[in-house]
């Protein structure tokens, strides 16, 4: 919006300067006015103040003045209209946009807060948007916020390291927060603030420096990603175990197939809460493979045996086609029989 307003102001200035210069030059050339008198005559003509002629005009001068009135007054009307529009955009539209965003944020429940809309933040937002998960973006850069809103994302400009910004994003109602700010120090501030406002919040962040990784965890981050370490590991795996690397890409990225890995919780009160994997027949009925089970205490059981019994609160790490995973989720929540 700032670039658009700057272009409008530049255009107004050029038109006004051209009109005044043309009028001044015309009166000097046609009527032999002194430069200041020519400038003054041009000014009172295009501003329509109604003063009389500075000096009597000849027939040619009146022709020129008639043209200047038509052209100059049109330029003045255009300029006044453009300036009015700029004022409206600055004084009215922006607050209305902020109020609309605030209403939308106030309606969010169990959402994710993304702090920072740089390259990492944009990637996170894209994944959440594709998954249909509710989220809101905070960034202190207004141009980034405008870019996010243009993409249909709820966003507002603020300093995410401040408590009031997190409160405005509904941190008390959120289930997760992604801190993707430029520096480890900023991410550390966000984590400390977020955890103090909502201790149950699942906080994920990145560490630019290796020594910051442990500090971010001590501050309350549930998961810390070190981009350079992860990238180095994946590069090495692509050389040493290329087929394993391609399988991981297949399971974590969109490869043109409707296949995904999902975590699905077993709810209490459903008929599956006390059944074994063999009794559930997930592979035969839904074509779903259970890769692992995470117990409520945090224990992760990989390749669980068929006779393992499900318990309320267990998370199934399952792979299959998206519609079948969605149906399994409804079954385990007791929404479908």
pLDDT tens-place string over residues 241-295 = 887 777 777 666 654 556 778 888 888 777 777 788 888 888 888 888 888 999 8
What digits encode the pLDDT tens for the residues 211-251?
A: 888 899 999 999 998 877 777 877 887 888 887 777 777 66
* CATH classification (class only), 2-102: mainly alpha
The CATH number that domain 257-332 falls under is 3.30.70.1450
Q: Which segments of the chain belong to CATH 1.10.287.70?
A: 2-102
Top mean pLDDT of 57-66, 144-153, 156-165 is at 156-165
100: left (phi over 0), alpha (psi -120 to 50) or beta: alpha
pLDDT at 111 over 90: yes
- Average pLDDT value for residue range 116-145: 90
**Looking at 172-284, which runs of residues are DSSP E strands?**
176-179, 202-206, 223-225, 259-265
Strand pairing report for 300-302 and 135-139: unpaired
The pLDDT, as a whole number, for residue 96 is 47
Q: Beta strand pairing status for 289-294 and 315-321?
A: antiparallel
Helix (H, G, I), strand (E, B) or coil at 32: coil
pLDDT of res. 48: 75
Domain(s) labelled CATH 3.40.50.720 in the chain stretch across: 108-225
C-alpha–C-alpha distance, residues 53 and 219, integer Å:
77
What gap in Å lies between CA 18 and CA 26, rounded to an integer? 12
pLDDT, average across residues 118-139:
91
Q: Is the pLDDT of residue 86 over 60?
A: yes
Whose structure tokens read 């946009």? 97
Q: Which homologous superfamily does the CATH classification assign to the domain defined by 108-225?
A: NAD(P)-binding Rossmann-like Domain (3.40.50.720)
**Between the ranges 18-32, 87-101, 114-128, 301-315, where is the mean pLDDT highest?**
114-128
Mean per-residue pLDDT over the chain, rounded: 84
Kindly list the distances between the CA atom of residue 65 and the CA atoms of 25, 47, 52, 60, in Å, as whole numbers in the listed order: 12, 13, 12, 9
According to CATH, where is 3.30.70.1450 located in the chain?
257-332
Q: Which residue has the tokens 């006779």?
A: 307
Please compute the mean of the pLDDT values over residues 96-110 and round it to a whole number. 77
Q: The tokens of 106 are what?
A: 């106030």
Residue 89 clears pLDDT 70, i.e. is over it: no
pLDDT of residue 16 exceeding 60 = yes
């Amino acid at each position: 919006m700032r670039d658009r307003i700057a272009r409008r102001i530049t255009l107004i200035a050029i038109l006004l300067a051209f009109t005044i210069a043309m009028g001044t030059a015309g009166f000097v050339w046609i009527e032999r006015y002194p430069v200041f008198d020519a400038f003054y005559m041009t000014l009172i003509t295009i501003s329509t103040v109604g003063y009389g002629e500075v000096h009597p005009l000849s027939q040619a001068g009146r022709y020129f003045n008639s043209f200047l009135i038509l052209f100059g007054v049109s330029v003045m009307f255009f300029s006044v209209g453009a300036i009015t529009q700029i004022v409206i955009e600055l004084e009215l539209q922006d607050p209305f946009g902020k109020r609309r965003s605030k209403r939308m944020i106030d309606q969010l429940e169990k959402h994710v807060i993304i702090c920072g809309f740089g390259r990492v933040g944009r990637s996170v937002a894209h994944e959440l948007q594709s998954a249909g998960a509710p989220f809101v973006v905070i960034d202190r850069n207004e141009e980034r916020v405008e870019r996010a809103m243009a993409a249909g994302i709820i966003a507002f400009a603020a300093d995410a390291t401040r408590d009031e910004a997190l409160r405005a994003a509904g941190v008390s109602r959120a289930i997760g927060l992604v801190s993707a700010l430029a520096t480890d120090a900023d991410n550390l501030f966000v984590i400390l603030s977020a955890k103090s406002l909502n201790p149950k919040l699942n906080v994920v962040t990145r560490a630019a420096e290796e020594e910051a990784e442990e500090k971010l965890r001590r501050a309350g981050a549930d998961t810390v990603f070190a981009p350079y370490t992860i990238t180095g590991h994946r590069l090495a795996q692509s050389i040493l175990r290329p087929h394993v690397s391609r399988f991981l890409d297949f399971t974590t990225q969109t490869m043109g197939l409707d296949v995904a890995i999902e975590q699905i919780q077993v709810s209490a009160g459903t008929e599956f809460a006390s059944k074994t994997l063999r009794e559930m027949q997930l592979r035969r009925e839904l074509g779903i493979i259970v890769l692992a089970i995470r117990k409520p205490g945090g224990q992760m059981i990989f390749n669980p045996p068929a006779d393992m019994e499900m318990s309320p609160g267990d998370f199934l790490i399952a792979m299959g086609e998206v519609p079948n995973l969605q149906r399994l989720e409804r079954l385990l929540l007791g929404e479908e029989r």
